[in-house]
Amino acid sequence: MPTVRTPRERWVEEGLLALAAGGPDAVRVEPLARSLGVTKGGFYWHFDDRRALMEEILDAWERTAVDVVIEQIDSAGGDGRAKLRQLFEIATAGREVLDVDLAVRDWARRDKRVARRLRRADDRRIEYMRVLFREFCPDEEAEVRAFLAFSLWIGNHFIAAGHGERSRADVLAASLAHLQA
């Protein structure tokens, strides 16, 4: 009977879930193996060590959070405003990418290598938004709008304030609509 190995991608996916749930310290070989229902020996079939897994986790995060999002928006077509609406919908739709993103941000505070990766991802995100905003406003204004939009997405998750009769989702939607006006 042939040996069935847990695919490398499953280790990375499980590592992303662990990172989102508990930060980089939660990404450990034995707990990942238990979550996958395999022995830790299978890990070493795919990775030299934990550091190699952590690099692949960062690669997967960057691909998912930046490349895939941009490809998805660009393939849908439309003008800058339409693409920004879709970007904002994606950014506010689910917690999966955001939870990993917040974990990477926290990790970057303690690891310069991760901080460089985060900066690269954020630079690419902001640049993409600048390009979209430039389709309907001047460069200086595009810079400000891109920065505010990105700040809303990240900062929104650190603000505990209420909004009276309005929901957070309503306030975010109005804020983002204002940025697109």
- Give the predicted TM-score (pTM) of the model: 0.89
29 vs 44: CA distance, rounded Å = 9
pLDDT band at 3 (very low <50, low <70, confident <90, very high): low
Amino acid identity at 74: D
Q: What pLDDT digit, counting tens, does each position of 155-171 carry?
A: 888 889 999 999 988 99
Are 181 and 150 a contacting pair, CB within 8 Å?
A: no
Percent of the chain, pLDDT > 90? 79
User: Residue 70's closest CA among 132, 20, 115, 118?
Assistant: 132
pLDDT at 41: 87
Domains and their CATH numbers in the chain: 8-180 (1.10.357.10)
Q: What pLDDT digit, counting tens, does each position of 118-132 carry?
A: 999 999 999 999 999
Q: What pLDDT digit, counting tens, does each position of 58-101 carry?
A: 999 999 999 999 999 999 999 999 999 999 988 877 777 789 99
Which three-class secondary structure state does DSSP give residue 147? Answer: helix
Inform me whether the pLDDT recorded for 1 exceeds 80.
no
Are 97 and 67 a contacting pair, CB within 8 Å?
A: no
Alpha-helical (H) ranges within the chain are: 8-22, 29-36, 41-46, 50-62, 69-76, 80-93, 96-108, 112-134, 139-155, 168-180
168 vs 162: CA distance, rounded Å = 7
pLDDT at 13: 97
